[in-house]
Structure 1
Amino acid sequence: MVITKRGLVLGATAVAVTAVVVTGAGVHMSGGQAFLQESPKELIDEVWQLIDRNYVDATFNQVDWRAVRQDYLGRSYGTREEAYDAVRDMLEQLEDPYTRFMDPEEFRNMQIDTSGELTGVGIQLAQDEETDELIVVSPIEDTPAFEAGILAQDVIVQIDGQSTEGMDVNQAVNLIRGPAGSEVTLTIRRGEEQLEFPLQRAQIELHPVRYSYQEGSTGGVGYIRLTQFSANAAEEMQAAIQDLESQNVTGYILDLRSNPGGLLYSSIDIARMWLDGGVIVSTVDRQGISDQESANGQALTDKPLVVLVDGGSASASEILSGALQDNDRAVLVGTQTFGKGLVQSVRGLGDGSGIAVTVAKYLTPSGRDINHAGIAPDVEIELTEEQQEQLLDDRTQIGTTADPQYARALQVLNDRITAERQNQRAETVPQPQ
């Protein structure tokens, strides 16, 4: 099984959601176990071949990849666990936390239907490439983690009292996930503080788009909050824009704060709703530019747009915000984005296990590689920790004038609407003959 383009996963999105959902992709367990018991080396070679053909770095992190194959196929493996350990050890030589092997259980966790229900606490995790610490990319709204006050950039140092030192994302996910109603305690480092969060796992239904009509000084404003680029995000975004257009809004605020990303083509589909022309994103593999996506002349609105971003806006959020910024379609307000510019392809293996392979990086329309660097907002405004806590304590304030970043975005939007109206009036004034 190979997940096609529309299944490409960006960044730390579905990768580490603490949830278990098996999708229609399927996992062939019984036959696969027999396959591995008969020939564990076939699994190792299968993984090696996938990396050899698809990995984004043709130098394989300056590793002699053919010598690696000879080394690992020359060993003896008594159990499938030994073969799994060998595969993980082999992949570690790439020093890429996003290219990783998943045993059958971990792969089932990975096969998340992002439009359905998730069982967990509602956080996305990433592993810091320099420190190997487990970082919260963002909590999902209306989940136990979000309601408890866990924030983007928090560092998970313990799970139920067990240290996360040396632990990878998959191991952490297996400890954090569990049946709805059961409990898990996360110990978080935030700055100099160490905090404990007892959480009750829950069934989490994801609706990625929320929107409202709000009154502004220049007329009605459409406020749209997009929390994840899931399979149904584009459909919900289209419905939101069409409804707000029917209410004759004068402009929009699109809130991508703490949106950790998701499906590549979800971000492209949504970008086309705002852009009538121009490049959206270029995907670059080890042969060079392999794909370039552009607007298709079917934008749903051309009204002024301001986009809210922060350090939890990652991968697909950065594709969308970068496309809107580079095409001068929107003003970005907030703080620097996460900086995740890599694309993973997720593939099933012969024994029911799986592998996520970094196959490409992406560039914004102007050619920016935002991996690690992130995207800088046009107007920077940072929330204090006190302001963040206040918004978490009363989520009804998010997307209102009590939300300092939203208030600044509204001011920027009103200025743009006013300037556009003045330009339109100037164009309609008769010129002397």
Structure 2
Amino acid sequence: MINKRAAVFWAIVLVIVTAFSTFIVTNTIAISLGNKVVITQKDFETIKSMEKLLGLKDYIKKNYVEGAEDNQLIEGAIKGMFESLKDPYSVYMTKEEFKNFNESTKGSYGGIGVIVSRSEDGYVTVVAPIEDTPGEKAGLKTNDKIIKVNDQDIVGMDLDAAVALMKGKKGTKVILTVLRDNVREPRVFEIIREEIILKTVKSNMMENDIGYIRISMFDEDTGDEFKKALNSLKTKNMKGLIVDLRQNPGGFINQCVEVADELLDEGLVVYTEDKGKKREDYKSKKGKLDVPFVILIDEGSASASEIVSGAVKDRKAGLLIGVKTFGKGLVQSIEQLKDGSGIKLTTQKYYTPNGISINKVGIEPDIEVKALELKEGQKPEDVKDVQLERAVAELLKQIKR
């Protein structure tokens, strides 16, 4: 039920949509409500801002030499509100952009298979290439800064617009120009788009009865897929487990909690706090994995990957091997609006069981092992995986005890 003050406020806003002068606003309120209304200074300032915004919309529409449509101006104003937050994870998406966003978290789509974010200085930056996709095969790496898609400069461009340029029909070519740390000249990658099918969990049994589960990201089915893979390995007399979260950019918080629940005994996995310091706890249930395990992490392990890693480290349940993680300790709420558009807004920060916020900090491994650098023309499978080898060695020590 709307209270009187709220009803008055929205009545005023509705009037402003159709008439801009103070005289008309004041008199329409008197007619609509039948008496005088007192509002706060804050509400009055909000009303004046709305008047300014809508007045400018009309001015642009009447005078802009190229012409402009109402919808174009309103969409731009909404996008501007989100951009003013200077948070690369908070965005407004048009109907088409929101549809593309949903495709990238489930099912399949045509593209190159990289997860990107926009840095504070306006660069579209690779968080992680998705495993077995054209982007990974071409050699794109975490922290690569994409400055051009084909001939179009994308520095400072809206993130979703830049992503849309990278997507396209299967079999078509896209050219990316990339800045890479410690490389003087920009690098150019010619990539053929493929259908990106998101299978986020792969597993196999290695030598010495060590199970291996690779999670490339946490989508809607990852928790169930992880359980299936783990149960399959258990039937094969698994004596130790490696969970590979390298280059995993994150995903849904409920899915990473499901994965953590399979590894940890009863207790706290992660907690979140919103603007008002309201806390929400996510816990694992009683019963833990009964074999030693290692989590592999690197600079591309972000968000949901760091939730799992942070819980394992704080609760001393397993070993983290690799290098420091990405450092994204924020939670976004995703909402679809009535017209099919959508928003993604940072609404919470998350904390590890020990109360640590890892945002822009990352999680340090228990044992640091740097991956060998790929040389020009080499593919990941051509280079010895020293991080995986160290994980096996550490597990064998524990198995033999």
The answer to whether TM tops 0.5 is yes
| Alpha-carbon distance, 1:387 to partner | 7.0
Match of 1:404 in 2: 386
Taking only aligned residues, the RMSD between alpha carbons, in angstroms, comes to: 2.4
Q: Which amino acid aligns with 1:268?
A: V
CA distance, structure 2, for counterparts of residue 113 and residue 74 of structure 1:
38
The CA deviation at 1:153 is 1.3
Q: 1:332 to 1:40 in 2, by over 3 A?
A: farther
Q: Distance in 1 between matches of 2:81 and 2:17?
A: 13
Structure with greater Cα Rg = 2
Distance 1:352 1:154 in 2: 32
Indicate whether 1:98 and 2:86 are aligned. no
Residue 207 of structure 2 is matched in structure 1 by 215
Q: Which residue of 2 aligns with 1:305?
A: 293
8 Å Cα contact 1:313/1:338 also seen in 2: yes
CA deviation after TM superposition for structure 1 residue 198, in Å: 1.0
Contact 1:40–1:80 under 8 Å retained in 2: no
CA deviations on 1:35-76 (whole Å, 9 max, x unpaired) are xxx99969xxxxxxxxxxxxxxxxxxxxx9995674245422
Once the two structures are TM-superposed, the CA of residue 388 in structure 1 deviates from its matched residue by 9.9
The one-letter code of the counterpart of 2:296 is L
Q: Which residue of 1 aligns with 2:148?
A: 158
Q: Aligned to 1:339, which of 319, 324, 327?
A: 327
Partners in 1 of 2:189 and 2:15 — Cα distance? 44
Using the alignment, how far apart are the partners of 1:384 and 1:65 within structure 2? 59
Taking the aligned partners of 1:99 and 1:321, their CA distance within structure 2 comes to 24
1:65–1:262 Cα change, 3 Å: farther
- Distance verdict in 2 for CA 1:39–1:304, change over 3 Å: farther
Local SS of the residue matching 2:142: coil
Structure 2 CA distance for aligned equivalents of residues 97 and 250 of structure 1: 42
Question: Which residue does the alignment assign to 1:268?
Answer: 257
Kindly indicate whether the alpha-carbon contact (under 8 Å) linking 2:16 and 2:50 is maintained by their aligned counterparts in 1. no
In structure 2, the residue corresponding to 1:254 is in which secondary structure? Answer: strand
Q: Residues 202-241 of structure 1, C-alpha deviation per residue, up to 9 Å, x if partnerless?
A: 112121111111113xxx1011111110111111111111
CA distance in structure 2 between the partners assigned to 1:333 and 1:68 by the alignment: 52
Counterpart for residue 60 of structure 1: none
**Who is 1:315 aligned against?**
303
In structure 2, relative to structure 1, the CA distance for the partners of 1:417 and 1:100 (3 Å cut) is same
Q: Which runs of 5+ in 2 are unaligned?
A: 1-13, 19-41, 62-69
In structure 2, how many angstroms separate the alpha carbons of the residues matched to 1:237 and 1:370? 25
Residues 359-392 of structure 1, C-alpha deviations (whole Å, 9 max, x = no match) = 1010011111011001111111112323797552
Q: What's the counterpart of residue 164 of structure 2?
A: 174
Q: In the alignment, which of 132, 152, 157 is matched to residue 122 of structure 2?
A: 132
Kept after mapping to 2: 8 A contact 1:251/1:417? yes
Q: Secondary structure at the match of 1:271?
A: helix
Could you tell me which residue of structure 1 aligns to residue 369 of structure 2? 381
Q: Does the 8 A contact of 1:115 with 1:207 survive in 2?
A: no
Shift in alpha-carbon separation, 1:123–1:287, aligned structure 2, 3 A: same
Match of 2:191 in 1: 199
Residues 68 and 90 in structure 1, CA contact (< 8 A), matched pair in contact too: no
- Offset of residue 157 of structure 1: 1.2
Superimposed CA distance per residue, residues 313-352 of structure 1 (whole angstroms, 9 cap, x where no aligned partner): 0000000111111111111000110111111111122332
| Alignment-mate amino acid for residue 127 of structure 2 | V
Does residue 119 (structure 1) correspond to residue 110 (structure 2)? The answer is yes
SS in structure 1 of the partner of residue 131 of structure 2: coil
Measure, in 1, the Cα distance between the counterparts of 2:236 and 2:44.
62
Change over 3 Å in CA distance of 1:163–1:383 after alignment to 2: same
CA distance in 2, matches of 1:139, 1:109: 18
| Aligned mates of 2:137, 2:122 — CA distance in 1 | 27
Q: What is the match of residue 232 of structure 1?
A: 221
Q: 1:97 to 1:73 in 2, by over 3 A?
A: farther
The 1-side partners of 2:283 and 2:334 are apart by 24
The 8 Å contact of residues 372 and 385 in structure 2, kept in 1 or not, is answered as no
Q: Residue type of the partner of 1:258?
A: Q
The separation in 2 between residues aligned to 1:88 and 1:102, in whole angstroms, is 8
Contact 2:113-2:133 at 8 Å conserved across structures: yes
Question: Structure 1: how far apart are the matches of 2:273 and 2:377?
Answer: 40
Structure 2 CA distance for aligned equivalents of residues 341 and 249 of structure 1: 33
Q: Write the distance in 1 (CA, Å) between the matches of 2:307 and 2:260.
A: 9
Identity of aligned residues (%): 37
Where does structure 1 lack aligned partners over 5 or more consecutive residues?
1-37, 43-63, 422-433
In structure 1, distance between residues paired with 2:303 and 2:219: 13
Letter in 2 for 1:82: L
Q: 1:350 to 1:309 in 2, by over 3 A?
A: same
1:388–1:214 Cα change, 3 Å: farther
> What secondary structure, in the 3-state scheme, does the structure 2 residue paired with 1:111 have?
helix
- Report if the CA contact (8 A) 2:111-2:167 is conserved: yes
Contact 1:391-1:403 within 8 A present in 2 as well: no
Per the normalisation by structure 2, the TM-score is 0.82
Q: Secondary structure at the match of 1:71?
A: helix
Task: Report the more deviating stretch, 120-129 or 162-171.
Answer: 162-171
In 2, Cα distance between the equivalents of 1:279 and 1:387? 42
- Give the 3-state SS of the residue equivalent to 2:171 in structure 1: coil
* Larger RCO: 1 or 2 (CA < 8 Å, sep 6+): 1
Q: Pick which of 378-387 and 95-104 moved more.
A: 378-387
CA 67–167 in structure 1, closer or farther in 2 if over 3 Å, else same? farther
Which of 275, 280, 283 aligns to 1:286? It is 275
1:81 alignment counterpart = 72
- For 1:256 and 1:387, locate their aligned partners in 2 and report how far apart those are by CA, in whole Å: 23
- For 2:356 and 2:178, the matched residues in 1 are separated by 33
The answer (yes or no) to whether the contact 2:139–2:379 under 8 Å persists in 1 is no
- TM normalised by structure 1 equals 0.76
